[in-house]
Amino acid sequence: MRVLVVEDQRQLADSVARVLRREGMAVDVAYDGTAALERTDVVEYDVVVLDRDLPGVHGDDVCRTLVARESPSRVLMLTASGTVAQRVEGLGLGADDYLPKPFSYAELVARIRAVGRRNRAPAPPVLIHGDVRLDPAQRVATRAGARLPLSPKEFAVLEHLLAGRGRVISAEELLDRVWDEAADPFTTTVKATINRLRVKLGDPPLIETVARAGYRI
């Protein structure tokens, strides 16, 4: 899942980004509304976590612009005001969900996953292929009943491949959906992660390399 965090309080923004990355999400950060609009103009995010009270280009205007563009990105709006009237107003702007500050990171993660699911075709709650079972909600993957010791990136790659249901997925797509803007497009990180994942999955081999195209299960 690709997420954009838009928050002018840099310490909070960076903290949220760290938490979401630990959850296996690809996260970019914008510290003002102008940067947010520039990023959403070139990157298709699954979810935009948007502080409403931004200086300069207000969060309301960012939300309005995304709606006007017919952006597929879902918007989770954050604000220090938690009144019912403020929530109704925020949802009326086109936001998909609304979370008042202060919030728990656990709730933020759950809400991001919930609004992100609205942006995709329905998928089974648990992804299964042969003896491999991956539960996105519980963040648990097993093979033949044994839990796989996957890193967040390995888990995210396996989830994306399983969700592809046999579709060939390019390294570029994995880089875009699992990593973030800090990733070097010429890096071998996707190949290295796939190789580690193959080792942890064991035999018989599960991930196939399709020459000059990508990977599939």
CATH 3.40.190.10 fits 2-117, yes or no: no
Task: Write down the domain spans for the chain.
Answer: 2-117, 127-216
The answer to whether 96 touches 78, Cβ cutoff 8 Å, is no
Which segment, 66-70, 86-90, 191-195, is predicted with the most confidence on average? 191-195
What are 81's two structure tokens?
């005001």
Q: Which amino acid is at 34?
A: T
Residue scoring higher pLDDT (182 or 165): 165
Secondary element (H or E) of residue 16: helix 10-22
CATH 1.10.10.10 fits 127-216, yes or no: yes
Residue 180 has φ and ψ, to the nearest 5°, of -145, -170
Res. 193 pLDDT band, cuts 50 70 90: very high
The answer to whether 69 touches 75, Cβ cutoff 8 Å, is no
Enumerate long-range contacts of 158-163, CB under 8 Å, 24 or more apart: 158/132, 158/134, 158/197, 158/201, 159/24, 159/127, 159/134, 161/207, 161/215, 161/216, 161/217, 162/127, 162/129, 162/132, 162/134, 162/217, 163/123, 163/127
Res. 101 pLDDT band, cuts 50 70 90: confident
Over residues 133-145, the pLDDT tens digits come to: 999 878 899 999 9
